[in-house]
């Protein structure tokens, strides 16, 4: 086995650059700028390095009175001395390998903590490029110590990933939520009060069960739980049916079905609500047909629990499908053939072999559906009527006439507890069971045909859903080409011209349409956020599924937190946390990218875990035996086997970044306006034609992106033969 490359020396080199050369604080011309060498009016390099706003940490401490920077400087000096003594062969550090590792771990963590704490000091500017490089260097130093001490089997890649993800989650999930949730314990005058917290958490409006004994309404917590359970169960069943239809049936148009199945997840929030109202509302198509044929008077049944459940089934089934498609594709045909060889019919094989192997994927799809439902904001706002849920209550507590940040924070805490409860229940149900179906051996089996009753049930369940999807998209596409949707259906292109006009001049192309800026911003930010969130989610899944470390369950819970909180709360939390030092990011595109990354990461985690559950650990062990370290094993062995999870994470990350509104509506600025906020602005102003035209453009853009991602990532095929090829 090749000797592992150490992280200590590179970490110290980067640490030296961060502390001695790069500007420690954010510069006026850009948060993490470097000197504009040779630019007109630029300051001389020496003057730039010594100036109060652009000096390094050493200069800030020695010349400008920043005594708080002494701690990270001393830690860096101690780390350099320790590494030098170890390289020189000093016996106490060379012979005692484990204490040597603990020393680097402690130094890295102390340096990381000291750097962050001094950033929170009063009258401190925002951290700049030097501080960011120093923070990353301290993480690498701690990872070196963790690996040398024997943790994670000495895998430096795993140690670096674990610590880096933990720090990122702490900064961009825990810190913003802590800023908001701190308000839940504030009593009158701002002082902490346990009584105030208890009163907010146990309010009658949240937990009352009066609907069971009277005509009064139940509490918003019970409404949220009932809706989430129904949504999670329905989306899991529909997602499984669609996955089986696409991968295991012999019905025609399976590729088209795969594309249509993910269309709702790429729908801008405006289209789903309006489409459902136009079809099922009081003046909708269904009520009109019932009144004209059966004399049934129009009703408002769509507003409330039935309409919300329908909207969430429509919106979140694609997420379950994306989680389950890789699980179904990863089933071993050989195991199913073995069941048939023993005399089992196709129905028995599916019930006793295939279905049990899919339990991790089903559990993950149920968990994601449950969390998506409790955190859903747009559908309850449009279709909720008098059926209140926690997400909308949080919104009205923050932006309503009676601004109550404490109540909003308490409601957010309840949402977190519901998500964590669902996670714990899922873990208990799957504890102590094995679901491996992909081993290191070749699999030349033929996938067993689905039993006919199951195929009929799948068709009956999925065809109406698919048709409804096509109707919604047909209405969206047609609505952009008519003068006034629902009243004047004269064909016109003026909505597209208003939003996406282009002029050719002698100077080149002028993008004169009002929507171009928001579209370019959206594509640019989503293209950055999607691969980062997918990589972060899949690396987290690998750490959870393939390594063992202290606090693993807490680490897994932490990765779910941003997903369980309504986007409105996340947006406000980011404004509160990053509008002031040490990380001053508001108004920039970076804060939107970070918000989207950590908002979308949990889906990559759950999909990656579901796929890894099916892959035998012996493949990892064989790779390690042949001398490959963690990074090589992930890249060359596991990544090709989890292609469905990679594709799902990329698709979900991109389309959610394009279509999200609640999480970014508080973060956009004049320079970073996004497509969904532009659409909502058109809707508020009554300009529905432009909003629908823009939605149609987004739909076309995301369909193209999905096709491109699927072609780039490809699919994983388990089994060398197919039923058609065998016959």
Q: Quote the pLDDT of residue 59.
A: 92
511 bridge partner residues: 502
Whether 239 is covered by a domain: the verdict is yes
| Domain final residue, candidates 94, 121, 149 | 149
The pLDDT value recorded for residue 111 is 94
Claim to verify: residue 131 and residue 238 sit in the same structural domain = no
Digit-coded pLDDT (tens) for 208-258: 888 878 777 889 999 999 999 999 999 999 999 999 988 887 777 777 888
Return the closest-CA partner of residue 646 out of 616, 609, 604, 613.
604
State how far the Cα of 699 lies from the Cα of 706, in Å rounded to an integer. 10
* Residue 563 included in any domain: no
Residue 376 CB partners (closer than 8 Å, separation 6+): 312, 315, 316, 389, 391, 566
Provide the residue range defining the domain that includes 65.
1-149
Out of 112, 129, 149, pick the residue that ends a domain.
Answer: 149
**Distances 419 to 297, 315, 370 between C-alpha atoms, Å:** 40, 19, 8
CB burial string 621-658: b at 16+ within 10 A, e below = eebbeeebbbeebbeebbeebbbbbbbbbbbbbbbbbb
Report if residue 12 sits inside a domain: yes
466 and 318 within one domain: yes
Mean pLDDT of 602-613: 85
Q: Quote the distance between the C-alpha of residue 78 and its chain's center.
A: 39
Whole-number Å distance between alpha carbons of 55 and 269? 46
What's the number of CA atoms in the CB half-sphere (13 Å) around residue 521?
23
Give the count of alpha carbons within 13 A of 226, CB side only: 15
Same domain for 223 and 96: no
Model confidence at 124: pLDDT above 70: yes
Residue 45, burial from CB neighbour count under 10 angstroms (0-12, 13-18, 19+)? exposed
What is the overall mean pLDDT for the chain? 82
| More reliable by pLDDT, 603 or 674 | 674
Q: By the 8 A CB rule, do 317 and 238 touch?
A: yes
| Alpha helix (H) residue ranges in 376-451 | 378-383, 390-399, 405-430
Total structural domains in the chain?
2
| 570, 595 Cβ separation under 8 angstroms | yes
- C-alpha span between 496 and 690 (Å, rounded): 7
Answer yes or no: is pLDDT of 661 > 90.
no
Query: Which residue among 96, 122, 149 closes a domain?
Result: 149
Whether 282 and 369 share a structural domain: yes
Give the span between the Cα atoms of 147 and 75, in whole angstroms.
19
Contact (CB, 8 A) for 218 and 212: yes
pLDDT at 375 over 60: yes
Write the pLDDT tens digit of every residue in 552-598.
988 988 888 887 777 778 888 898 889 888 888 988 999 999 999 99
What is the spatial distance between Cα 534 and Cα 474, in angstroms, rounded to a whole number? 31
Bridge-based pairing of strands 502-505 and 508-511 is antiparallel
Higher pLDDT, 147 or 298: 147
Q: What whole-number distance in Å separates Cα of residue 707 and Cα of residue 651?
A: 9
Residue 134 and residue 38 share a domain? yes
**7 domain-assigned:** yes
Does one domain contain both 254 and 373? yes
414 lies in the same domain as 331:
yes
3-state secondary structure of 504: strand
Other Cβ atoms within 10 Å of 65 Cβ, number: 10
The rounded Cα 529 to chain-centroid distance in angstroms is 10
3-state secondary structure labels for all residues of 266-307: HCCHHHHHHHHHHHHCCCCHHHHHHHHHHCCCCCCCCCCHHH
Give me the percent of the chain exceeding a pLDDT of 90: 25
DSSP secondary structure string for all residues of 100-168: HHHHHHHHHHHHHHHHHHHHTSTT-PPB-HHHHHHHHHHHHHHHHHHHHTTGGGG-HHHHHHHHHHHHH
Residue 120 has pLDDT above 50, yes or no: yes
**Spatial contact of 234 and 226, defined as CB atoms under 8 Å apart:** no
Rounded Cα distance, 569 and 576, in Å: 10
Q: Is 551 left (phi over 0), alpha (psi -120 to 50) or beta?
A: left
Report pLDDT for 676.
87
Residue 538 has a pLDDT of: 92
Asked whether residue 249 is assigned to any structural domain, the reply reads yes
Are 340 and 255 in a shared domain?
Answer: yes
334 lies in the same domain as 460: yes
Residue 274 lies in a domain: yes
Helix axis angle, 552-564 to 405-430, nearest 10°: 130
Percent residues over pLDDT 70 in the chain: 86
Q: How far apart are the first and last CA of the chain?
A: 46
Same structural domain for residues 267 and 409? yes
Residue 145 sits in the same domain as residue 8: yes
Record the pTM.
Answer: 0.79
Query: 268 in a domain, yes or no?
Result: yes
User: Does residue 264 share a domain with residue 145?
Assistant: no
CATH of the domain at 321: 1.10.3720.10
Checking if the pLDDT of 40 tops 80, the result is no
Q: Furthest-apart CA pair in the chain: how many Å? A: 94
Residues facing residue 504 across a β-bridge: 509
Domain assignment present for 143: yes
Higher pLDDT, 684 or 314: 314
């Amino acid at each position: 086995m090749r000797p592992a490359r150490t992280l200590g020396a590179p970490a110290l080199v980067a640490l030296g650059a961060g502390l001695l050369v790069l500007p420690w604080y954010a510069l006026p011309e850009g948060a993490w700028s470097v000197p504009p060498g040779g630019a007109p009016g630029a300051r001389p390099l020496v003057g730039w390095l010594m100036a109060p706003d652009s000096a390094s940490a050493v200069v800030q401490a020695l010349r400008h009175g920043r005594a708080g920077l002494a701690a990270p400087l001393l830690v860096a000096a101690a780390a350099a001395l320790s590494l030098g003594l170890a390289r020189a062969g000093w016996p106490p550090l060379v012979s005692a390998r484990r204490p040597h590792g603990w020393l680097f771990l402690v130094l890295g963590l102390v340096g990381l903590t000291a750097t962050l704490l001094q950033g929170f000091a009063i009258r401190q500017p925002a951290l700049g490029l030097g501080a960011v490089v120093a923070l990353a260097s301290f993480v690498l130093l701690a990872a070196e110590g963790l690996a040398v001490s024997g943790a994670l089997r000495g895998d430096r890649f795993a140690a670096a990933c674990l610590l880096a993800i933990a720090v990122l989650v702490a900064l961009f999930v825990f810190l913003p939520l802590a800023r908001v949730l701190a308000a839940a314990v504030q009593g009158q005058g701002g002082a902490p009060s346990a009584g105030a917290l208890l009163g907010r958490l146990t309010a009658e409006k949240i937990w009352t069960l009066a609907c069971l004994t009277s005509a009064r309404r139940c509490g918003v917590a019970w409404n949220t739980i009932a809706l989430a359970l129904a949504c999670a169960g329905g989306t899991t069943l529909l997602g499984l049916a669609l996955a089986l239809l696409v991968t295991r049936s012999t019905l025609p148009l399976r590729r088209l079905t795969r594309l249509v199945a993910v269309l709702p997840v790429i729908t801008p929030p405006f289209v789903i609500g309006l489409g459902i109202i136009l079809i099922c509302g009081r003046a909708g198509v269904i009520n009109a047909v019932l009144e004209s044929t059966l004399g049934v008077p129009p009703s408002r049944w769509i507003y409330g629990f039935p309409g919300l459940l329908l909207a969430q089934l429509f919106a979140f089934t694609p997420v379950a499908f994306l989680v389950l498609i890789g699980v179904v594709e990863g089933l071993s045909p050989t195991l199913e053939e073995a069941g048939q060889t023993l005399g089992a019919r196709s129905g028995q094989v599916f019930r006793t072999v295939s279905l049990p192997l899919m339990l991790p994927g089903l559990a993950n799809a149920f968990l994601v559906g449950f969390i998506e439902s409790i955190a859903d904001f747009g559908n309850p706002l449009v279709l909720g009527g008098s059926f209140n849920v926690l997400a909308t209550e949080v919104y009205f507590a923050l932006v309503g006439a009676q601004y109550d940040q404490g109540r909003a924070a308490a409601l957010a805490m309840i949402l977190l507890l519901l998500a964590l409860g669902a996670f714990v229940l899922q873990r208990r149900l799957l504890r102590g069971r094995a679901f491996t179906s992909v081993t290191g051996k070749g699999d030349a089996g033929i996938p067993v045909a689905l039993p006919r009753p199951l195929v009929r049930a799948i068709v009956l369940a999925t065809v109406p859903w698919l048709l409804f999807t096509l109707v919604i998209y047909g209405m969206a596409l047609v609505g952009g080409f008519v003068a006034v949707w629902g009243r004047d259906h004269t064909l016109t292109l003026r909505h597209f011209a208003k939003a996406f006009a282009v002029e050719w001049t002698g100077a080149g192309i002028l993008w004169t349409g009002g929507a171009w800026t928001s579209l370019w911003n959206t594509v640019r930010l989503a293209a950055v956020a999607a691969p980062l969130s997918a990589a972060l989610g899949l690396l987290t899944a690998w750490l959870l599924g393939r390594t063992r470390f202290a606090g693993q369950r807490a680490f897994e819970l932490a990765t779910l937190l941003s997903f369980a909180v309504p986007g409105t709360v996340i947006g406000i939390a980011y404004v509160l946390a990053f509008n002031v030092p040490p990380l001053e990011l508001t108004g920039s595109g970076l804060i939107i990218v970070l918000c989207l990354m950590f908002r979308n990461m949990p889906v990559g985690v759950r999909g990656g875990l579901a796929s890894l559950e099916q892959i035998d650990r012996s493949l990892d062990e064989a790779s390690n035996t042949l001398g490959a370290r963690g990074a090589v094993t992930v890249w060359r062995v596991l990544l090709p086997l989890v292609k469905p999870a990679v594709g799902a994470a990329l698709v979900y990350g991109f389309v959610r970044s394009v279509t999200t509104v609640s999480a970014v509506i508080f973060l956009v600025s004049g320079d970073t306006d996004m497509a969904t906020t532009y659409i909502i602005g058109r809707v508020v102003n009554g300009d529905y034609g432009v909003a629908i035209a823009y939605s149609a453009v987004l739909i076309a853009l995301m369909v193209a992106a999905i096709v491109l991602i699927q072609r780039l990532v490809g699919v994983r095929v388990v089994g060398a033969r197919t039923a058609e090829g065998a016959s």
